[in-house]
Structures are given as C-alpha cells and as structure tokens.
Chain A
Amino acid sequence: MILSNAQEAKLIDLCKKFRKELIECLHAVGSGHPGGSLSATEIITTLYFCELNVNPKNPNDPDRDRFILSKGHAAPMLYLNLAEKGYFDMRELCNLRQLNHMLQGHPCAKTTPGVDLSTGPLGLGVSAAVGMALAGKLDKKKYNVYVLIGDGETQEGIIWEAAMAASKYKLENLIVILDHNKVQLDGTIDEIMPLGNINAKWESFGWKVIETNGHNIRDISSALKEAKQVKVKPTIIIAETVKGKGISFMEGKNIWHGKPIDDEHFNIAMKELSGGN
C-alpha cells in the first residue's frame, strides 16, 4: 500500500499513543517487557495499519495475511495494535498478565482473537511461518506470512534450519522482519554472542535482504512493498532500531528488557513521551 502523508501522520500519532499506553499498562501491572516492545512499535503498527490484509470481524479468515510475533515478549505492543484494530476491548490491557484474564504474558492463539500463533520460547516462529507459507502455496492462496524476530533470537539454531527450508521451498510469500536493536537480555549482542555479518548470513542462506529504518513508518512500508515484489525467494527486512526507543533512560539498555517500571521511572517516562505534544 502506498502511504499518503495524512496516513503517515496518523500512524506516527498512533505510535505515540501506543508508547504511552504501553508504559501505563506495564507500570500498572508491574510486569512485562518494555525494551523490545518499544523497539518494535513502528514495525508492528505499520504492519497492522497499512500492510496486513486482516479483518477483526473475521479473525480466522483462511485468506488473511498471517502475522507471527516470534519475539513473543513484545506481546503488549501486539495487544495494543489488536485492540486498536477492534479484535477486543482496549480495557483488556488493564488486566495484562493477570489470572483469569485473556491477555497472557506471551501471545496465546487459543485465548486471544487476532493472535495467529502462540509464542514465547524464542526461535520457533520462523519454522511455523514456513509451514503457513508452504500451505499458502499448496492451496494457491494469495496471503503473505509476516514474522517479527529479535536479533538475539537469531542465535537459536532452529532459526537457521527454518531459513534453509524457506529458501529450498522458494517461499516468496514469507517476509521476516528482524528487530535489529543490538541488545539482548544479558547485554549487547556484541558482548553476549556477536552475529557477525547479518546481511551476508541471510543472503548466503538464499534470502533477499532489505535494510530499513525500523522507526520510520515510510521506510518500513516501502521496504514491505519491495519485499512483496521479490520472486522465488523469501525476504528478510533488517530493521535498524533502538531497544527502549522513545524513553531516554531505556534506550540501548539491556536492563530495561523486562524490568518492572516503578513510580519514579514511570513519571519520567510519561513526561518524555508527552513532550512536544
């Protein structure tokens, strides 16, 4: 979809709103993962609001595009998007991670409308996406399968098993987006387990590689457009991002991967997120 200026402005506002709601929600429940939700805000929002062919009124439509949040810990950002789309009431967010409520700590396809695959243990999403994409080709369906993975997540061997399979089966209907925020849980990627030349790795596995700015909605949407024109091979979009994007004390810091947000940090964060508004 070609993005108009008005649409772009709307999505920028939406991301602003999501960041605030994310912090409010995680602060209120005292649990959940801020860092990787903030780095993925523009990516997930662009997917839901100018890319995915999905219909909240018919969440199980066999012809819909699929989205898999393989880095399942960014669930709150997925839930905000799903609620805004109309899959369920925004008020569900207040009960995130609480007993007897729908929104699980990691996405659960069984309980939450709009979630295409349950995830949480890292590394599994791409293999399942390969299966979905393969089925799409078998059944001559038009849908695409989109997967968001973390950069740390690609340290799991199964990611590369899936990468080979996607290439073997020429899955042009599969688009992986890598949230390249350069930070994992225990530290930076370079400190914990360096990934080397990421582009060369994926290219050598037979993938088309597209680089983009993962916080720029226009860039993300044009990368997606380019990805859909690729033939006979799967595509990975390497999205350059910042972990904790938008909140100065969280940016680039592994400690904010999954740390509860106390009142003091909440107040600073909300002030920053409200700035220039």
Chain B
Amino acid sequence: MKTKQIRQAYGEALVRIGEKNERIVVLDSDVANSTKSCLFGKKYPERFFDVGISEANMAGMAAGLATTGKIPFINTFAAFMVLRAGDPIRSLIAYSNLNVKIAGAYSGLSDSYDGASHHSLIDIAFMRAIPNMSIISVSDPIETEKSIETCLNIDGPVYIRLSRAEVPYIYDNNYKFKFGKGNILVDGSDLTIIATGYMVHKALDAAKLLKNEGINARVVNIHTIKPIDTELIIKCARETGAIVTVEEHSIYGGLGSSVAEVIVRNYPVPMEIVGIQDVFCESGDYEQLLNKYGLCAENIVAKSKLLFSRK
C-alpha cells in the first residue's frame, strides 16, 4: 500500500502554488519543520515569515497582509490555530472576509504522543460556526495537493484541516477535486457511511467488512465540510435510508452535526455519529489511540450493523 505524509504533500503543494502566484506569502509560528511550511521557506525566503511562538500575532499579521492583496497561508498545529489564533481569525479575517488560508496541521489525534493538550478535536466545531469561513478536510496526499490549488479560487478564508499522519492513497492524479462536492467512493444501497479526513480509508475498510456480512454500504468522502454538500447527503438519505458519519473530531459540532442538520431538515433517516465522545483523550500510539476511542473499521462496522437493524 502506497502511503505519504499529509504534511509532506501540503508543503510540496505550497511550493508549487508559490511558484505560479507571487501574491502567496506563508507564515508560521515556530513549527515550520513540523507543518512543512519550511519547504516554502527554503524556496521563497523573502515571502516566508516565521514569527516565533505567537499564533495570534501571526493571524493578525495575515489579516493585514490580506488587506493589501497578498494571499497569506498561516500555519501552526490545529489545536493552537483555534485556541490561540481564534480571535484574529474570527474578528479580523472572517469578519472582513479576508483572503487568508488557514492550515491546521496535526489535527484530530494525529499528534498522538504529545497528548490531550495537543490533540485537536474541536476545530471543525469552532471554524464552522464562523460566518464566511469555508472548511476543507483532506483524506489523502492527492486530495491535499488538489485542495491547496483549489482553495486559491475562493476569495475568502478557508480552513484546511491537515494531519501529521502517513496516509494511504485513495485517489490518483486524475482526481478532480470539486470544492463543496462530496465523492461517492463505493456504491451501496443498505446504508451510507459518510467520512472525512483520515477516517475515509477506515470507512472503506469497514465497507469491505460489512460486505462480508451481507450489508452493502455506500461510502462517501465529504472533504468540504462547509459549505456541505446538501444535495448529496439528501440523495444518500433517500436512496440508502440510514447514515453513519465518521470523523476524528468531537461528536459535537463536527461532520456528524453538519450531516444531521441537513437530514433533519430535509429527509430524516436513522443516524449514528462515530467520533470522539465528550472526553479528553491521552498520549499513545496513533492507531492504538484511534482504536481505543472507536475510530476504527471494527467500530464503524458495529455502529453500521446497529443502524441497519433500526432501518
């Protein structure tokens, strides 16, 4: 199985878009070697600003840069992006709809060993509730590349949810990334598993296991969490009659909430939300941690079967 680190794909994509577009400037707050924004910094040192451990200042500076027509990409761990840079992101960037791209590295549990203080399980909830903000959550290296290119077409703030993890390829180079449009990866009629980010390949694994048990699950990748693909979600509800969502995020305010909001208004069907319950997690190996908190194929299968029996 071919794999690549999301952060590496991100850093390389930054270098590529930086070559074509001189308005792009990149800021980091002393984690450039981790986020891989350092790759841009090596290539274009005059357009790279490492402002030290001052995330709020970084976001504020980006707001100022954007008012002049620059396109800043700001970088830090997703946890600190939300918790430290949150005010300038909302009050300066989003309020004025400034063209700043916000790259949240190490989201979910992917910075697993550093522990609960570094995990990022509330970023979708926070970003989603901010007007003007778009949210992209990438599932593999190709989607990372394509979404970085595509987000330049959006004249306003975009939160890009990245990961520290080494991820198997789901797509190939022919993949057409369409902002705001989910992808059906596997068709099925018994229920739909809607996943995002690192959970997409787990959802694919779960669908295989379900097939062995005679359940045909449809698998959908929702890479754009805001604006969400309402049309596709309603279609899945109508055609499969049940939806399981899977995300590496709190069960409050993330993908599951977004999907639930769509279906309760339009086409109510039974639903399960797989995500982190209302708890702080802990340090540990990434996969072990995901398993412990139910972010694994086995738990998706269990929840799917439960849901199927309720249909």
Contact = CB atoms under 8 A, between A and B. Distances in A.
A246 interface: no
Given A104-B116, A153-B53, A186 B292 contact: no
A94 to B, nearest CB: 14
Contacts, number: 92
A243 B52 CA distance: 17
B183 interface: no
Interface stretch (A5-13, A79-87, A119-127, A207-215): A119-127
A136 to B, nearest CB: 25
Contact of B54 (A97, A120, A156): A156
B56 to A, nearest CB: 6
A111 B282 CA distance: 10
Given A99-B288, A99-B292, A152-B52, A120 B32 contact: no
Given A121-B84, A122-B53, A193-B51, A106 B117 contact: yes
Given A99-B288, A99-B289, A119 B53 contact: no
A101 B38 CA distance: 34
B53 A97 contact: no
A268 to B, nearest CB: 23
A105 B54 contact: no
B190 interface: no
Contacts of A99: 282-285, 288-289, 292
A155 B50 CA distance: 12
Contacts of B79: 121
Range of interface residues on A (Cβ < 8 Å): 20 to 34
Contacts of B56: 157
A31 interface: yes
Nearest to B288: A99
A157 B80 contact: no
A100 interface: yes
B30 A186 contact: yes
A98 interface: yes
A98 B284 contact: yes
Interface string B31-54: 111100010000000000011111
Contacts of B52: 152, 155, 184, 192-193
12 contacts: A97-B283, A99-B283, A99-B285, A99-B288, A99-B289, A99-B292, A105-B117, A106-B117, A155-B30, A156-B84, A192-B30, A193-B51
Given A186-B30, A187-B50, 12 more contacts: A97-B283, A101-B283, A105-B117, A121-B118, A123-B53, A152-B30, A155-B53, A184-B52, A186-B31, A186-B32, A186-B38, A192-B50
Interface of B: 28, 30-34, 38, 50-54, 56-57, 79-80, 83-84, 113-118, 282-285, 288-289, 292
